[in-house]
Amino acid sequence: MSESNSIVKMINEELGINLLGVLVFNGNEIVLANDVPVELMRLAASLINFINRVNGLEYAKVKLNNVLMYAVRSGDLIIVFLANPTLIEGALSLVNRYVDKLVRMSWEVLNKAKAIEPAVTVEGDELTEDDILILLDYFKGKLRELEAKGE
């Protein structure tokens, strides 16, 4: 989260616009996100569902009462920039220069996530409290390993 928060801060300072947030999706899953209110995340997720259904859609802009959303597809990833609805829509195209950096950061996160293999396979329809505790211990250990390696 802190890296994506710093990206938003950098974009705001360099371009002189006030982005509310940036979200990066792989399919319907959020890969990167800065501190965005849940309401805006839900709106962005709805936009992502639409974009995923329309093949070949590279860009989308949606202006609502409380947010202007600008989505850019880059391969398997979709980057959604959230801005104040009073922002001049043309100014949002300036954020395109940050797409490559966000894509690179997102793939780093995805590759780290793939490196963590599941500790436990749960059979059946539900997780027990013991299953959850085992998984939490496993992931805490993996995070400590990654931090020790400096990743």
DSSP state, residue 82: E
Parent domain of 94: 2-114
Please choose, from the candidates 151, 76, 72, the residue with its C-alpha nearest in 3D space to the C-alpha of residue 113.
151
Domain count, the chain: 2
Are residues 85 and 27 part of one domain?
yes
pTM for this entry = 0.72
Choose among 119, 105, 136: nearest CA to 6.
105
31-74 pLDDT tens trace: 888 888 888 988 999 999 999 888 888 999 999 998 999 999 99
Write the single-letter amino acid at 68. Answer: L
Give the model confidence (pLDDT) of 88-128 as tens digits. Answer: 777 877 888 888 889 988 888 888 877 776 655 666 667 77
CATH of the domain at 51: 3.40.1840.10
